[in-house]
């Protein structure tokens, strides 16, 4: 059934997902000789013990577990096998001692140091687009000139394509197909890059922005990133962490969750909150500062209102009258007309 499921999914999932399926198949070998109709919770528990004996991360174990559940759903759909009893008793893998990796990202200062050692305009534009537009790896490498509207300062995140030599993954969700603005300084660099590329023989707007007829190879981009990080003496983050850097920039700039989700192409706000909740947590101090600032302004206004009240009060006074009285602790001295009012 594993091979049948693989064939069935070939035109339905991303190329990278199929690759992951192939890599995960080896971890399902202990279940190969078990008839589907007889698969029960005891088989599953023995398989869990097998998986726990492997030196792989809990996250990857749960990836294989998710793949197993997908196979069971496939069996239910196409072979009418009832897995409900065992399905409801299955649990994922946990490891309380496994420390979750902290999300890595660049600050603006670190990005400037990173870019300061980049001499190639194309790579400079690529890393800036990753950082400022929040593109995924496949979205960046799948970007073509005819999806980049230079004169309108916007970019339509394209439907990536595939070739025999290079593969650009498809979008994760329909929300990934989005139109976002381009900062003017990045637009200037992209315009310069376009003019350079247009001089090549046979150039077409259908060419890849970061590549030519074929997209830039992922390994080439990765190698350039690692080299720049070493030369600039900054931490070497993943390509996908440039996207996290963009999210951090948006959140620190005060963008609300809805805008961040739309900018990054998340289908649900929950995805944004779950992924970047630590960044929102870090903004709690900022919220407290805002509250204190507003409270300070309020207190200052209370203090400042006393002379204001007096100035408003004088409008009710006669044009000419001499008297002396107290108003909330302020002594009003004698005056001959309302313009002589003083404290």
Structure confidence at residue 210 (pLDDT): 92
Distance CA 20, CA 62 (A): 13
**Residue 190 vs residue 97, higher pLDDT:** 190
Domain shared by 33 and 83, yes or no: yes
10 — pLDDT class (breaks 50, 70, 90): confident
Which whole number is the average pLDDT over 148-172? 45
Q: What is the pLDDT of residue 50?
A: 93
Q: How confident is the model at residue 333 (pLDDT cuts 50, 70, 90)?
A: very low
Model pLDDT for residues 258-269, shown as the tens digit of each residue: 888 888 887 777
> Structural domain of residue 335, as residue ranges?
285-340
Identify the domain boundary among 260, 282, 304: 282
The helices-and-strands tally (H runs, E runs) of the chain is: 14, 5
User: Which of residues 42, 58, 89 is at a domain's end?
Assistant: 89
Q: Please state whether 199 falls in left (phi above 0), alpha (psi between -120 and 50) or beta.
A: alpha
Same domain, 116 and 196: yes
- What pLDDT score does 166 carry? 35
**Residue 198 within a domain:** yes
Inter-axis angle of helices 269-282 and 241-252, nearest 10 = 70
Range picked from 96-110, 120-134, 325-339 for highest mean pLDDT = 120-134
User: b/e map of 227-237 (b: 16 or more CB within 10 Å)?
Assistant: ebbeebebeeb
Domain-located, residue 41: yes
Q: Which of 313, 250, 296, 237 is nearest to 276 (CA)?
A: 250
Same domain, 205 and 185: yes
pTM of the model: 0.59
The predicted model gives 109-117 an average pLDDT of: 95
CATH number at residue 152: 1.10.443.10
112 and 250, same domain (yes or no): yes
Predicted pLDDT at 76: 85
Does residue 233 lie in a domain region? yes
Number of domains the chain is built from: 3
Q: Are residues 159 and 265 in the same domain?
A: yes
Residue 227 resides in a domain? yes
* pLDDT (0 to 100) of residue 238: 92
What distance in Å separates the CA atoms of residue 284 and residue 286, rounded to the nearest whole number?
Answer: 5
Output the CA torsion 84→90→91→92 (10° steps).
-100
Residue 95 lies in a domain: no
Last residue of a domain, one of 282, 299, 331: 282
217-256 per-position pLDDT tens digit: 989 999 999 999 999 999 999 999 999 898 888 888 878 7
Same domain for 165 and 240, yes or no, is yes
Residue 179 and residue 75 share a domain: no
246 domain-assigned: yes
Place 2 in a pLDDT band, splitting at 50, 70 and 90: confident
pLDDT of residue 127: 96
Res 12: pLDDT? 78
For residues 180 and 317, membership in a common domain is answered with: no
User: Is 103 within a domain?
Assistant: no
Same domain for 112 and 200, yes or no, is yes
- Average pLDDT of the chain, as a whole number: 76
Distances in Å between the alpha carbon of 72 and those of 75, 148, 174?
5, 43, 26
Q: Are residues 232 and 120 in the same domain?
A: yes
Task: Mark whether 10 and 79 lie in a shared domain.
Answer: yes
- The answer to the question of residue 292 being in a domain is yes
| Residue 279: pLDDT band with limits 50, 70, 90 | low
- pLDDT tens digit sequence for 175-211: 446 777 788 888 889 989 999 998 998 999 889 999 9
The per-residue pLDDT for range 119-130, each reduced to its tens digit, is 999 999 999 999
pLDDT band at 131 (very low <50, low <70, confident <90, very high): very high
Q: 168 and 268 share a domain?
A: yes
300 or 85, greater pLDDT: 85
pLDDT on residue 174: 44
154 — pLDDT class (breaks 50, 70, 90): low
């Amino acid at each position: 059934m594993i091979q049948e499921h693989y064939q069935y999914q070939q035109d339905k999932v991303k190329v990278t997902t199929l690759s992951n399926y192939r890599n995960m198949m080896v971890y399902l070998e202990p279940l190969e000789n078990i008839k589907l109709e007889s698969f029960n919770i005891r088989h599953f528990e023995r398989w869990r013990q097998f998986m726990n004996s492997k030196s792989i991360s809990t996250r990857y174990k749960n990836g294989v577990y998710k793949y197993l559940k997908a196979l069971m759903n496939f069996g239910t759909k196409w072979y009418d096998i009832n897995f409900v009893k065992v399905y409801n008793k299955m649990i994922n893998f946990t490891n309380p001692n496994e420390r979750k990796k902290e999300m890595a990202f660049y600050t603006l200062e670190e990005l400037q140091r990173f870019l300061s050692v980049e001499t190639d305009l194309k790579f400079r534009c690529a890393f800036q687009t990753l950082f400022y537009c929040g593109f995924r790896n496949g979205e960046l490498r799948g970007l073509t000139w005819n999806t980049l509207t230079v004169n309108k300062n916007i970019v339509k995140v394209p439907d990536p394509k595939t070739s025999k030599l290079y593969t650009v993954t498809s979008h994760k969700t329909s929300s990934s197909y989005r139109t976002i603005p381009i900062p003017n300084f990045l637009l200037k660099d992209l315009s310069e890059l376009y003019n350079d590329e247009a001089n090549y023989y046979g150039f077409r707007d259908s060419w890849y922005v970061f590549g030519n007829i074929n997209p830039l190879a992922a390994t080439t981009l990765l190698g350039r990133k690692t080299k720049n990080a070493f030369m600039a003496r900054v931490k070497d983050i993943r390509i996908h962490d440039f996207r996290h850097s963009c999210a951090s920039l948006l959140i620190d700039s005060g963008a609300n969750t809805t805008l961040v989700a739309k900018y990054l192409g998340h289908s649900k706000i929950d995805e944004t909150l779950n992924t970047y909740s630590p960044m929102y947590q870090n903004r709690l101090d900022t919220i407290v500062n805002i509250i204190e600032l507003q409270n300070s302004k309020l207190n200052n206004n209370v203090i400042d209102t006393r002379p204001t009240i007096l100035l408003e009060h004088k409008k009710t006074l006669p044009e000419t009258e001499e008297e002396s009285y107290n108003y909330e602790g302020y002594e009003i001295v004698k005056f001959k007309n309302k313009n002589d009012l003083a404290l």
